[in-house]
A = this chain, B = another copy of it.
Amino acid sequence: MPLAVPVLPEGVDPAWLPAAAFRSLGTRRTLIRGSGPLVETVHGEVAGACARFGGRVERDPEPGAGASYDLVLEVGPGLGDEEFAYERTAGSTTVTASGQSGLLYGLFHVVRLGENAFHGERAREVHGPALPLRMLDHWDHVAVHPVMGQVERGYAGGSLFWEDGRARGGTARVRAYGRLLAACGINAVAVNNVNVHETEAHLLTDRIGEVAALADALRPYGIRTHLSVTFAAPIVLGGVDTADPLDARVREWWARATADVYSAIPDFGGYVVKADSEGQPGPFAYGRSHADGANMLAAALAEHGGTVHWRAFVYNHRQDWRDRSTDRARAAYDHFVPLDGQFADNAVLQVKHGPMDFQVREPVSPVLGAMPRTRLALEVQATQEYTGQQRHVCWLGPMWSEVLGFRPEGAARVGELADGLVAVSNVGDDPFWTGHPLAQANLYTLGRLAWQPDADPYRLLDEWIRLTFPAAAPRLVTGLQTALKGSWRTYEKYTAPLGVGFMVQPGHHYGPSVDGYEYSPWGTYHFADRDGVGVDRSAATGTGFAAQYAKPWSEMYESPDTCPDELLLFFHHMSYGHILHSGKTVIQHIYDTHFEGVAEVEEAREAWASLADLVGPARHARVTERYDEQVRSAREWRDQVNSYFFRKSGVVDSHGRRIY
């Protein structure tokens, strides 16, 4: 039985799968050969498109029936689970897959190609994902937190998965979400926050049925469901008096609990764990290592085919700001690199892209090149915690692409060294999914980069535009490109300068507060004084963080002369008068970029205003309202940062602009 395409609730945006994106497919004659649940998903997609646009779909006709088809989607031998082969000969396009999700990915490939899928000839080409783990971590809570809301660092309404204290289960909204993810290549989802509170701890045991309902809704789109668990579960849930990973009772408890999970969800993906980090429990309490902790869970998961995602985000979050010898940037490397080779095969170490915490500009984490005998997943934030919280346009494709293209030892790229790309989700129950309609581009680009890390992000952006706005007028395409392409650099310009990071309001992290974290326990300092600003992380005179890199990076970062401007204050404390490679002084760079950044946002808002006739009124109004806030906020950033450094340095702007 073909699986019907989920019908979106009234008012919910179809994102990059509007009906019109299926026009080329839906006007053709398609044959589907093979069987299995995901084949039914594919059949439902084609049938839905044909019902709307007048084409036809047939299923496994009698051999020799002799009809001719525009498109054949078939299950055949010789390919990997997620791969598909694509070719076009003699007026017919064929997509072949061995595993079922490969066929689904092939179908969406055809959708993306549009009319191009049905013209000319194309020799057989095999497509498959470069990274087997392509995952979204939802920092969702079952219960609404009075301060954090329901989704920690969520800016798109409530949770898509949890409502009124229960799982939404197999609602059309959850199924439609799975469909969107499959269409950009995501194959895994963690359904709850890595900070596991009391209510959410129970999802592992007595509330696993609710997780199973979500898994049932996502499975037809090739997505495996994961669960964030608390390391203290044996104590909290099991009544064991320890969570020591080497204690037999603990191992037995996890083995039994995990077996029960697999009874409920046979294709369960595995666990996500934040341990010994920001107050979460972990193996340190028992004198055990992170490898001990991860391997204990890996052992429980192994026989079922599950994976443990162990986060490398471990640092001292109760640092004394007076202590200049401790450097949070060093922490992940210092904690984990000595453990290289000790992690089980089904343990994946999940490493944030930078050494700090999802800032708009950080160097690539040195951990990513330093653990060749460990499976690594690169973790990024699709949710814009530090990049405008989906009130600002900040398309992160180029940033992620830079990270994936970084060559830690001068040879292989991060996108080749890693086994996976994991993003903290930017999705909620908002009608536009992501709060800011243009933030959908981040989610789409993320999925596509996980599939092909060396893809040109600007090509992926165009892909997103063409899918989301089929048959868009050239003026709209250009307008959207203008709004999004440079938006990350623009955001960087009007916020913390030259890689120094933070300078955000404590707690919620929205808007500027230059000294907001300067005297805090969080390890996030800029050390600005009347003479200069920045953190000396050199090996010669600083914290030594620069030496955690292999050459050439360690040498490049070590000296202000060779350190790239954009990371200068991350690695060095510089005087305001220091001349950058750009030829400007540090202080003039600060002033200039902050004036430029605001001007760019003002231009983008104007450009958007001119598109009112080309997009629907709801979308236009939503984006307009957010641009107004972005302009207001960008001006606040500009004026606070410039005033702060003017008051400290006493250096006047060489262009004589207004600084308060």
Q: Which residue of B lies closest to A660 (CB)?
A: B322
Indicate whether A146 reaches chain B with its CB closer than 8 angstroms: yes
Indicate whether A529 reaches chain B with its CB closer than 8 angstroms: yes
In contact, A530 and B647 (Cβ under 8 angstroms):
yes
Q: Which residue of B lies closest to A512 (CB)?
A: B519
Within 8 A of B (CB), among A613-660: 636, 639-640, 643-644, 646-650, 660
In contact, A648 and B515 (Cβ under 8 angstroms):
no
Q: Which residue of B lies closest to A649 (CB)?
A: B530
- 1/0 contact string of A498-512 vs chain B (CB within 8 Å): 000000000000001
In contact, B146 and A650 (Cβ under 8 angstroms):
no
Indicate whether A147 reaches chain B with its CB closer than 8 angstroms: yes
In contact, B640 and A519 (Cβ under 8 angstroms):
yes
* 8 Å CB contact of A147 from B146, B322, B640, B660: B146
- 1/0 contact string of A517-546 vs chain B (CB within 8 Å): 001000000001111000000000000000
Q: Which of A321, A528, A530, A639 has the most chain B CB atoms closer than 10 A to its own CB?
A: A530
Indicate whether A393 reaches chain B with its CB closer than 8 angstroms: no
* 8 Å CB contact of A648 from B321, B519, B648: B648
Chain A contact-residue range equals: 20 to 34
- Give A590 Cβ to nearest chain B Cβ, in Å: 15
In contact, B650 and A529 (Cβ under 8 angstroms):
yes
Q: A146-B146, A322-B660, A530-B530 are in contact. Are A519 and B650 (CB under 8 A)?
A: no
- Give A507 Cβ to nearest chain B Cβ, in Å: 8
Within 8 A of B (CB), among A458-475: none
Q: Give the complex CA separation of A514 and B519 in angstroms.
A: 10
Q: Give the complex CA separation of A130 and B648 in angstroms.
A: 51
- Give A578 Cβ to nearest chain B Cβ, in Å: 18
Q: Which of A512, A519, A529 has the most chain B CB atoms closer than 10 A to its own CB?
A: A519
Q: Interface SS of chain A: helix, strand, loop or mixed?
A: loop
Indicate whether A445 reaches chain B with its CB closer than 8 angstroms: no
Indicate whether A513 reaches chain B with its CB closer than 8 angstroms: yes
In contact, B519 and A643 (Cβ under 8 angstroms):
yes
* 8 Å CB contact of A529 from B514, B528, B639, B648: B648
Kindly list chain B residues whose C-beta atoms are within 8 Å of the C-beta of A146: 146-147
Kindly list chain B residues whose C-beta atoms are within 8 Å of the C-beta of A649: 530
Q: Give the complex CA separation of A639 and B320 in angstroms.
A: 11
Q: A513-B519, A514-B515, A515-B515 are in contact. Are A531 and B650 (CB under 8 A)?
A: yes
Kindly list chain B residues whose C-beta atoms are within 8 Å of the C-beta of A650: 529-531
Kindly list chain B residues whose C-beta atoms are within 8 Å of the C-beta of A530: 530, 647-650
Q: Give the complex CA separation of A647 and B532 in angstroms.
A: 10
Q: A515-B513, A515-B515, A639-B322 are in contact. Are A529 and B660 (CB under 8 A)?
A: no
Q: Give the complex CA separation of A275 and B619 in angstroms.
A: 39
Q: Give the complex CA separation of A649 and B648 in angstroms.
A: 9
- 1/0 contact string of A118-141 vs chain B (CB within 8 Å): 000000000000000000000000
Kindly list chain B residues whose C-beta atoms are within 8 Å of the C-beta of A513: 515-516, 519
Q: Give the complex CA separation of A98 and B147 in angstroms.
A: 55
Q: Which residue of B lies closest to A323 (CB)?
A: B660
- Give A145 Cβ to nearest chain B Cβ, in Å: 9
Kindly list chain B residues whose C-beta atoms are within 8 Å of the C-beta of A321: 660
- Give A304 Cβ to nearest chain B Cβ, in Å: 40
- Give A644 Cβ to nearest chain B Cβ, in Å: 8
Q: Give the complex CA separation of A170 and B516 in angstroms.
A: 47
Kindly list chain B residues whose C-beta atoms are within 8 Å of the C-beta of A647: 528-530, 648
Interface residues, chain A, with chain B CB atoms under 8 Å away? 146-147, 321-322, 512-516, 519, 528-531, 636, 639-640, 643-644, 646-650, 660
The 3 closest A-B pairs by CB, nearest first: A146-B146, A529-B647, A515-B515
Given contacts A519-B643, A530-B647, 14 further A-B contacts (CB under 8 A): A146-B147, A147-B147, A322-B660, A514-B515, A515-B515, A519-B636, A519-B644, A528-B647, A529-B646, A530-B530, A530-B648, A530-B649, A647-B648, A648-B648
A-B contacts, 20 listed (Cβ < 8 Å): A146-B146, A147-B147, A321-B660, A322-B639, A322-B660, A512-B519, A513-B515, A513-B516, A513-B519, A514-B515, A515-B644, A519-B644, A528-B647, A529-B646, A529-B647, A529-B648, A529-B650, A530-B647, A530-B648, A530-B650
